[in-house]
A and B are shown apart, each in its own frame.
Chain A
Amino acid sequence: MGEHTYEILLAAAVASPLVSFWLLVFFGPRLGKPKAGWVGVLLGMGVPLIMGTIVMIGWWFFEDEASRAALTEHAFRWKWANLGAVAVDIGVKLDSLTVAMFFMVTFIAFWIFVFSVGYMKGHSDEVSGQCKYWRFFAYLSLFGFAMLGLVLSSNLLFLFIFWELVGLCSYLLIGFYFDKAFASKAAMKAFITNRVGDFGFLIGLMLVYFHLGTLDLDQAATRFAEQYASGTGIFASGFTMFGWSLATIMGVGLFCGAMGKSAQFPLHVWLPDAMAGPTPVSALIHAATMVAAGVYLVARVYRLMTPDALMFISTIGCLTLTLMALIAMVQVDIKKCLAYSTLSQLGYMIFGMGCGAWVAALFHLVTHAFFKAMLFLGSGQVIEGCHHEQDMRKMGGLRHKMPFTCWTFFVGVLAISGAGIPAMHIGLGGYFSKDEILAVAYTRSYVWGEGDFSKHEAHEGEHHSSTSTVHDVPVQLAAYQEHGEPEHADHGGAHESVDAHSSAPLALIFEHTKPLPKWMFWLAIITAYITPFYMMRCWWLTFMGKPRDEHVHEHAHETPMMFIPLVVLAIGTVFASYYLFRPLMADAAGAATAAPMVMAIDGDVHTPAITSAHSWLVYGVGFAFVAGFALAYLIYRDGLAVGDRIKQRLWPLHTLLVNKYYIDELYELVWVKGCVLLAKTAGFFDKWVVDLIFNLAAAITERLASFSGMIVDKHGVDGVVNGIAQTSMDVAGVASSAQTGRIRNYVLVTAAVAAVVLICLVWFGTNSGYSGARSFSALSP
């Protein structure tokens, strides 16, 4: 294809949602329902989907390694502004990852748009009585624009800009029912929490800008590598903060942004509340795309990471995936339950990124996007069907009323639980992706660090033959470069990757990268058991068993407009993921992870270490989903009774989980209240101190004025003068008439002056030093 064709197509794909946004803003009210919706669907996501598909096909099937590399190399750049002396370019980061993400986003988003047309047709598009149908799709389109832009950005600053824009859209959409207090509050919470993350992001940006002198992703990476090699720039300064080098701080700072968007542990509080938005929003933004952007960011800046930073990332991820999964077990609100499972899965991805499973994490991102979107849509279907009933305890037995929903939902449950047949290459997307992450985690925590790598020279092809685990790990790289994918023999990212790596001798990496603490791995494993349990619980309570609330049950229904997307996504979940996306990721990996200090480990290659990891996992978690399902079935087979009993038994744990470890309360107390208090103090200070000082100054001047005006002119002078008068009269021996009036005071002041004259005169007049006098006396007769 011609030069920049892909960029043009992608750019067009980004532009069209923007167009539809403005269209809807200006003509939305006139279009009305459902036309506005269709504009949103077709222009807002239809066009991008087509473009995305074309690009996808063209990129994957009609370009070979070399041409892809070339395209990546010469991707389009346009100078946007000068930041100081540094030029900031608008450009397209064109590589397999982009293409894959782009397609995934457009595909899922499109179907969610379609779903929304149906979903919003009901009364749920009304905001206190007024129809805001068009506005919803305007926001969705705007989000489409921002998200696609985010995926395409070749520049950290633009990444940040779109980053904020998706944040804005999520703010607007969470607060879509802004007449409801909780909705608008949730929106605000989401935005501000994200801002906290962005604060870190900004600091990361500053470091990148200052030390690497650019904001372009690729340039930044190369400079980073150079500086590492030469020990200059960011590596020159001995500055450390809690044991972190400047480079680490940079990495962590950038990751903070991801923590905000992907709702990682300390900043996760906004995501559950974000469920206040319409369900399609939850599906699109808070399950499939935006929240995944954090992972995408980490993937993009992977080359700027240091071992310590990655360790931090994996720790955060690990905590998140565990804690959130635990909370998910006790949720009764169907959307909340899904929200927490999302958090947990995001934790998996971040954890994966942290321990080097770059491909796996992204792969998990995609698969998760599919099935989680589907699950949310399913829940939306349920909620819509049940007249906005979200409490699972009131549901049950809906499988008759909404079969499609029921079974698509089940597919989702299977997928997220990582259902598959171990040891054979059969399973749902979630199965592969999660296993890969775990495999890499296993490798990092068990294989890594055993033996010493210092003897290890730069890797070569012949290392393949070696069998000792010790030597396996580094070879993973070469491995997935050579034959990362059995399906796609040709795999040319290899060469550039090899070059990229030969520049950074692996030995160093092995020296500096500590092995993963084992507890992290074990937490991940345990959570792998918990996930199927709460998902099964959710599904069972909703669809299986006997109806627990007649009223809800009889109204339940489902509409084609809404379950068609479900079916499509279900199919996607089953097939598309593994055989399409993973290869793309793997292809991108070579260039995108050519980091000097850290390395990405392919979790799906046939090298001893990984194979052993997998073979270990077969028995480790292979049948976790069975166990989880079984447990959930046993407990919830007939209603909530058993569950309640357990609840009473373990009430302390339960309360803790139900209240989400009281983190919200803590934040409310410390941050919100604290900040408001601080603000109030400042306001008070401003009003009663700063301002008062100036008013006081004014008042004092006035006093001073009246002092000199009245006191000095009247009493002061009079006082002084009276004193003088007094003394002069005492000298004169006249004690009487000490009373002096004003005029004489005036006079007295002059008299006081004149007294000086007198004294001087008498003094100098009588002594003989008076030359005039001498000459006079000479003249005297």
Chain B
Amino acid sequence: MALLGQTDLWAGIDVGEHLFLFSPMIVLVCTMLAVVACPIILGRGPRSIATVVWLGLGITLFMTFRVAGAVADGGVSGLSTQPGGMLIADNLSVGFQFLLLAFLAGVMLMWWMGSSATERNAPEFFILLLGSALGMVLMVSTTNLLMIVMAIELASLPSYAIVGFEKRNRVAAEASLKYMIFGAVCAAIMLYGASLLYGLVGSLDMAVIASYTIDNLSLGPNRVLLAVGLLCFLVGIAFKVSAVPFHFWCPDAFEGARIEVTTWLSVVSKGAGLLLLARLVTVFCAGGGADANPALSITFLTPLAWTIGIIAAVTCTVGNFAAYKQRSVKRMLAYSSIAHAGYMMMATAVFIHPSISGSTAGITALLTYVVIYLLMNLGAFGVTAMVVWDTGSDKIEAFTGLMRRSPWLAVPMVACLMSLVGMPPFAGFIGKWWILVALGRLQNTATSSGMFSLSTLGWLLMIVAVVNTFISLYYYLRIVVQMMFRDDGQRTVRTPIVGLAMVNGCAVALFALLIFAQPLKRTAERFTRNMYTASVEQDGKHKTLASAIQRGTP
């Protein structure tokens, strides 16, 4: 739909196939409709609604599997095989769909255990939940500015509402207000940036923008304008990722929201944001890779890498330090999630010229980390949730003597927390490890010399990362100490067996993912490489298009 008047617009495009490629999203939408329709038929019973949702998720999962089969060989990127296409279906998006569904299932479980009994507005809740889910799926599967904006909004708006879902709850109301306003502002700024980028290049496709940028670096003022546009655009993503200084909403919203909602937001919304960032980074790398003059591309990429890197470093440092004093475990975990977003951003800062081997290390590390992070947080929040439901408090004192009160909660909690710290024998370590390795890869870049070279950035970020690991240990230990060393003789915690299964499952999985780190890493590598090659392939087309646009005569 790039150019009007072209009669053979749909020529060579099998619409059915493309619809099939995006069937999971369609199914999600259908599920939402079903949830709307359901009360009329089945009544508003939470369980019945939930059943419908389970059903919808099941089908989605099924479709996702089929799509996964289709894109297994990689690089099948849906509509955007045509220049200016808007959606991409490749390993990355499909893989994220799997993660999202798994996590959604986890959150559903938590809701089932925690709130289903008292839930009044199940349909609304699920519509919002699924809506944000859809938005996040879309976020990961596009490079088109318009789609990105839409997706982010689609992911955000329901989140605002779902944070303040409990109408009678002051804190929740306040949280949602803040979240909403802050989100709106960021979205506005992002849109403005988007408009500038469009104005500069004349295309909404990030890939085109990338290749144009790298071809026209010589144009002085445009470079600045471009940087400004990108910066503004990044604000939106930074808001999603809750990178400093756009993280203020995070602790408030997390604390105010219902715990399953917090869990939901803590992982997927950040994960989606980061993967989106990863996609854009890849696109830029591809643009640089196809470039005849690597040095030029490096000169463009290096400052970008430093920008992201510094933001990442600041983010994880601030997050860790801020978490120190928290009394509320929920809020502490919120800050810790900020810190982890920082770690993950470090990985995305690894821009590497594709001629270097292991150029995909950064994104690989990111993918691996997201998977592991998902498990860790699900576990940690799961335990917290059960404690909160039982004691009604999310203060750290509620955990006192948990080892005696309910060892099957305490042990997985320790596992998850230690994994969050990044201690062997838990997968958190391997996640951090891949990030460090990715940073180390920067040593091999063509321009690994000079004060602000990429290698310097790599080692600096590495040191920041390990030092942060060390700092973070303390506040995670505070919970451990409460659970293990202290005991004020509170009564034992009543825990639903499903919940125990879930958290312990997470703990075991975390352990297993360290021992069997290989497969996960391999998969991540494959996904990244496919995405990368695909981008490189299409880069040529983008260039021609870009130049065509510039000439003004298609």
User: Does B19 have its Cβ within 8 Å of any Cβ on chain A?
Assistant: no
User: Does B224 have its Cβ within 8 Å of any Cβ on chain A?
Assistant: yes
B552 and A779 form a contact (CB under 8 A): yes
B185 and A706 form a contact (CB under 8 A): no
A757 and B322 form a contact (CB under 8 A): no
With contacts A757-B228, A760-B228 known, is A772 near B200, CB below 8 A? yes
- Bitwise, A324-357 to B at CB < 8 A (1) or not (0) is 0000000000000000000000000000000000
- Bitwise, A701-732 to B at CB < 8 A (1) or not (0) is 11011111110110001000000000000000
A745 to B185, CA, bound (A): 12
A713 to B550, CA, bound (A): 45
- Bitwise, A676-712 to B at CB < 8 A (1) or not (0) is 0000000000000000000000100110111111101
User: Does B51 have its Cβ within 8 Å of any Cβ on chain A?
Assistant: no
| Binding stretch for chain A, among B156-164, B215-223, B451-459, B497-505 | B215-223
A706 and B221 form a contact (CB under 8 A): no
Q: Which of B181, B185, B475 has the most CB of A within 10 A?
A: B185
Chain A residue with minimal CB distance to B247?
A713
A761 and B245 form a contact (CB under 8 A): no
With contacts A750-B189, A750-B246, A772-B200 known, is A709 near B326, CB below 8 A? yes
Interface bracket on B: 35 or more
User: Does A764 have its Cβ within 8 Å of any Cβ on chain B?
Assistant: yes
B324 and A706 form a contact (CB under 8 A): yes
| Chain A residues in 8 Å Cβ range of B246 | 749-750
A757 and B192 form a contact (CB under 8 A): yes
With contacts A708-B318, A713-B248, A743-B177 known, is A701 near B228, CB below 8 A? no
Would you list which residues of chain B between 522 and 554 have a CB under 8 Å from chain A?
550, 552
A717 and B245 form a contact (CB under 8 A): yes
User: Does A738 have its Cβ within 8 Å of any Cβ on chain B?
Assistant: no
A706 and B325 form a contact (CB under 8 A): yes
Chain A residue with minimal CB distance to B196?
A761
With contacts A709-B325, A775-B552 known, is A743 near B178, CB below 8 A? yes
User: Does B413 have its Cβ within 8 Å of any Cβ on chain A?
Assistant: no
A754 and B232 form a contact (CB under 8 A): yes
* Nearest Cβ on chain A to B141's Cβ, whole angstroms: 27
Would you list which residues of chain A between 748 and 781 have a CB under 8 Å from chain B?
749-751, 753-754, 756-757, 760-761, 764-765, 767, 769-772, 775, 779
* Nearest Cβ on chain A to B243's Cβ, whole angstroms: 12
A746 to B228, CA, bound (A): 21
Chain A residue with minimal CB distance to B475?
A705
A775 to B335, CA, bound (A): 48
User: Does B165 have its Cβ within 8 Å of any Cβ on chain A?
Assistant: no
A708 to B322, CA, bound (A): 6
| Chain A residues in 8 Å Cβ range of B235 | 750, 753-754
Complex partner residue of B182 from A709, A747, A770, CB under 8 angstroms: A747
B219 and A705 form a contact (CB under 8 A): no
User: Does B323 have its Cβ within 8 Å of any Cβ on chain A?
Assistant: yes
Would you list which residues of chain B between 440 and 498 have a CB under 8 Å from chain A?
471, 474-475
* Nearest Cβ on chain B to A348's Cβ, whole angstroms: 68
* Nearest Cβ on chain B to A376's Cβ, whole angstroms: 63
| Chain A residues in 8 Å Cβ range of B317 | 708
| Chain B residues in 8 Å Cβ range of A746 | 178, 181-182, 248-249
- Bitwise, B218-253 to A at CB < 8 A (1) or not (0) is 011110110010011001000000000110110000
| Chain A residues in 8 Å Cβ range of B69 | none
Complex partner residue of A771 from B178, B182, B219, CB under 8 angstroms: B219
| Chain B residues in 8 Å Cβ range of A769 | 220-221
Interface bracket on A: 35 or more
| Chain B residues in 8 Å Cβ range of A701 | 324, 471, 474
With contacts A701-B471, A743-B177, A754-B232 known, is A713 near B225, CB below 8 A? no
User: Does B186 have its Cβ within 8 Å of any Cβ on chain A?
Assistant: yes
B321 and A704 form a contact (CB under 8 A): yes
User: Does B199 have its Cβ within 8 Å of any Cβ on chain A?
Assistant: yes
User: Does B412 have its Cβ within 8 Å of any Cβ on chain A?
Assistant: no
| Chain B residues in 8 Å Cβ range of A708 | 317-318, 321-322
Would you list which residues of chain A between 582 and 624 have a CB under 8 Å from chain B?
none
* Nearest Cβ on chain A to B111's Cβ, whole angstroms: 29
| Chain B residues in 8 Å Cβ range of A775 | 550, 552
| Chain B residues in 8 Å Cβ range of A756 | 228, 231
| Chain B residues in 8 Å Cβ range of A779 | 552
* Nearest Cβ on chain A to B36's Cβ, whole angstroms: 32
| Chain B residues in 8 Å Cβ range of A742 | 178
- Bitwise, B190-218 to A at CB < 8 A (1) or not (0) is 00110010011000000000000000000
A747 to B187, CA, bound (A): 12
* Nearest Cβ on chain A to B299's Cβ, whole angstroms: 20
A756 to B225, CA, bound (A): 11
Chain B residue with minimal CB distance to A701?
B471
Chain A residue with minimal CB distance to B251?
A713
* Nearest Cβ on chain A to B301's Cβ, whole angstroms: 21
B322 and A760 form a contact (CB under 8 A): no
A771 to B177, CA, bound (A): 42
| Chain A residues in 8 Å Cβ range of B189 | 750, 753-754, 757
B324 and A760 form a contact (CB under 8 A): no
Chain B residue with minimal CB distance to A720?
B245
Complex partner residue of B224 from A713, A760, A771, CB under 8 angstroms: A760
* Nearest Cβ on chain B to A98's Cβ, whole angstroms: 62
A709 and B196 form a contact (CB under 8 A): no
| Chain A residues in 8 Å Cβ range of B318 | 708, 712-713
| Chain B residues in 8 Å Cβ range of A750 | 182, 185-186, 189, 235, 245-246
B181 and A705 form a contact (CB under 8 A): no
| Chain A residues in 8 Å Cβ range of B335 | 709
| Chain A residues in 8 Å Cβ range of B324 | 701-702, 705-706, 709
Would you list which residues of chain B between 247 and 277 have a CB under 8 Å from chain A?
248-249
Chain A residue with minimal CB distance to B227?
A760
* Nearest Cβ on chain A to B297's Cβ, whole angstroms: 20
A749 to B225, CA, bound (A): 21
A753 to B235, CA, bound (A): 9
* Nearest Cβ on chain B to A730's Cβ, whole angstroms: 22
A743 to B317, CA, bound (A): 23
Chain A residue with minimal CB distance to B177?
A743
B325 and A705 form a contact (CB under 8 A): yes
* Nearest Cβ on chain A to B246's Cβ, whole angstroms: 7
| Chain B residues in 8 Å Cβ range of A753 | 189, 231, 235, 245
Chain B residue with minimal CB distance to A779?
B552
A747 and B220 form a contact (CB under 8 A): no
A705 to B186, CA, bound (A): 27
| Chain B residues in 8 Å Cβ range of A761 | 196, 225, 228
A769 to B552, CA, bound (A): 19
A767 and B221 form a contact (CB under 8 A): yes
Complex partner residue of B323 from A704, A709, A712, CB under 8 angstroms: A709
* Nearest Cβ on chain B to A605's Cβ, whole angstroms: 80
* Nearest Cβ on chain A to B9's Cβ, whole angstroms: 24
| Chain B residues in 8 Å Cβ range of A760 | 224-225, 228
* Nearest Cβ on chain A to B478's Cβ, whole angstroms: 11
Complex partner residue of B322 from A713, A745, A771, A772, CB under 8 angstroms: A713
| Chain B residues in 8 Å Cβ range of A713 | 248, 318, 322
* Nearest Cβ on chain A to B114's Cβ, whole angstroms: 28
* Nearest Cβ on chain B to A40's Cβ, whole angstroms: 56
* Nearest Cβ on chain B to A774's Cβ, whole angstroms: 11
A772 and B177 form a contact (CB under 8 A): no
Top-4 shortest CB links A-B: A705-B324, A708-B321, A709-B322, A746-B248
24 contacts between A and B (CB under 8 A): A698-B474, A701-B471, A706-B324, A709-B322, A713-B318, A717-B245, A743-B177, A746-B178, A746-B248, A746-B249, A747-B181, A749-B245, A750-B185, A753-B245, A754-B232, A754-B235, A756-B231, A757-B192, A760-B225, A761-B196, A761-B228, A765-B225, A770-B225, A771-B222
A: which residues have CB within 8 A of B?
Answer: 698, 701-702, 704-710, 712-713, 717, 742-743, 745-747, 749-751, 753-754, 756-757, 760-761, 764-765, 767, 769-772, 775, 779
6 extra interface residue pairs, beta carbon distance < 8 Å, beyond A708-B322, A709-B335: A702-B324, A712-B318, A746-B178, A754-B232, A770-B221, A771-B221
